[in-house]
Amino acid sequence: MKAIRVHSFGGPEVLQLEEVENPVPGDGEVVVDVHAAGINPADTYMRNGTYSIVPELPYIPGGDAGGVISAIGAGVETHSVGDRVFVGTALSFDLTGCYAEKVKRKASQVMRLPERVSFAEAAAFGVSYTTAHYALFERGGAIAGETVFIHGATGSVGTSAIQLAKRAGLTVIGSGGTKKGLDLVRTEGADHVVDHSKERYLDKVMQLTRGNGPELILEMLANVNLAVDMDLAARFGRIVIIGNRGEVTINPRVAMMKELDIRGIALWNATAEQVALMMEDILNGVAEGKVRPVIGRQMPLAEAAAAHVTVLEPGAYGKLVLVP
């Protein structure tokens, strides 16, 4: 099969398209023919060796995919050849193997894909929706009636968070930096949209919250925005850090005076029970028609290096996927 492999940590150029042996399922395992593989920023950090999880070289990147089971191992009774399924990082806590034509997982680590969901859309479930859910509810403690500010709402996690928050009865303020992005945030259901490319866009957020600030902020780029998030948040507010690409200087006194909670998020800290409940809630949203992944761009598997550049560019738009 064709697969992208990394033999040494470094820039996007280390992603090489190669021919490798087809995976063979062992006891309790399945092989999935990959129709679409999700690209996540964490994939780029792992590739350059700076992620908290460092894989053994060489490795095939990618933890999320949608596809069809093509082989099953002994003892597998929950799935059959031909099942449409999705493979997700949150299901296996394995961030490798999916940038390929086939991927092997334990049968317990794949889930059947609702008929109304495409393979490309399936690639968003493993990280994007579970991250958004974990940030909003398990870490953020969001409850109906509160206001959440999604600081950078145009990417896959951001659009997922909009849908999940609206379904749960929150008022959503989402930010974007381009007309296309702002239109997307509005289309996905945000109650209010602000342009974070404007100098005084935070003033609008304060106006929308009657000068109180939002109770909850989801932050996608903490090294740039955390300090202003602290100024913006309501008293006793919560800030959940989803993304960060460097160090930041903050004034702890702001957190003291407002009694703010600043919470990090790392999806692999979620328990198996939490993941199961999150996936159940997300799939219920799919069944209700209130959850639908936004696919920004599909690229050939051979263009994985270019995809790793694109996923980190400003102006993120929906989910980026590779198609083998």
pLDDT beyond 80 at 315: no
Highest-pLDDT range among 256-260, 271-275, 310-314: 256-260
What's the rounded mean pLDDT across residues 147-174? 97
Residues linked to residue 102 through DSSP beta bridges, in sequence order: 33
Q: Give the domain CATH number at 187.
A: 3.40.50.720
Structure tokens of 132? 């958004």
Q: Which residue from 133, 49, 125 is spatially nearest to 89, judged by alpha carbons?
A: 125
**Domain tally, the chain:** 2
Residue 287: inside a domain, yes or no?
no
SS3 324: coil
Same domain assignment for residues 161 and 240: yes
- Mean model confidence pLDDT for the chain: 95
Residue 192: inside a domain, yes or no?
yes
Same domain assignment for residues 35 and 70: yes
Largest CA distance in the chain: 61
233 lies in which domain range? 128-267
- pTM: predicted TM-score of the whole model, two decimal places: 0.90
Same domain assignment for residues 242 and 260: yes
The Cα–Cα gap between 40 and 64 comes to 9
Same domain assignment for residues 140 and 114: no
Q: Which residue from 311, 275, 279 is spatially nearest to 296, judged by alpha carbons?
A: 311
C-alpha gyration radius of the chain: 20
What's the rounded mean pLDDT across residues 169-191? 96
Same domain assignment for residues 133 and 255: yes
Q: What angle do CA 309, 57, 307 make, to 5 degrees?
A: 15
Same domain assignment for residues 152 and 257: yes
Same domain assignment for residues 314 and 221: no
Phi, psi for residue 197 in degrees, rounded to 5: -85, -10
Same domain assignment for residues 233 and 304: no
Decide which of 89 and 138 is more confident. 138
What lies within 8 Å, CB to CB, of 68 at 6+ separation is: 32, 33, 35, 82, 83, 84, 85
The Cα–Cα gap between 138 and 278 comes to 9
Burial of 67 (0-12, 13-18, 19+ CB in 10 A): buried
Residue 282: inside a domain, yes or no?
no
pLDDT value of residue 126: 82
Same domain assignment for residues 137 and 246: yes
The Cα–Cα gap between 255 and 224 comes to 17
